[in-house]
Amino acid sequence: MGSLRTGVIALKAAKDTAGQSALIHQACNIDTLCVHNDIKIIDGFVTHGGFKSIKKEAIRIYEKTPYNYLLLYSPILISNDIKEFKEMVTELEDYYGIYVKQLRS
């Protein structure tokens, strides 16, 4: 068996009860994908912000406990700013070796 791959789940906070239920389903779907791909979830967080907020928290967690993957359900649920998303992905991969995985486009 190879080395254990680890990941952190990042989700955007919901504003209403229906959104909160959707958030739970998103986390469960990500977790199921991780089980099938031998990725151990070591942490997770919910943010009210966009990609800058996610990047800041992802780096804060990494500095305490390095991990391989930042796991998102869908970038479009966080923000429509695709340029900011791509910049976050590039920085996390190039400087920290954190690969961003998404369940949906």
pLDDT digits (tens, 9 = 90+) for 72-94: 999 988 888 899 999 999 999 99
More confident site: 6 or 19 = 6
Mean pLDDT on 1-13:
86
**pLDDT greater than 60 at residue 1:** no
Q: How far apart are CA 7 and CA 79, in angstroms?
A: 21
pTM to 2 decimal places: 0.92
Q: How far apart are CA 54 and CA 105, in angstroms?
A: 17
| Cβ neighbours, 10 Å, residue 30 | 23
For 34-83, give the secondary structure using H, E and C.
Answer: HHHCCEEEEEEEEECCCHHHHHHHHHHHHHHCCCCEEEECCHHHCCCCHH
Q: How far apart are CA 45 and CA 98, in angstroms?
A: 16
pLDDT digits (tens, 9 = 90+) for 29-72: 999 999 999 999 999 999 999 999 999 999 999 999 999 999 99
Give the pLDDT band (50/70/90) at residue 19.
Answer: confident
Q: How far apart are CA 73 and CA 9, in angstroms?
A: 9
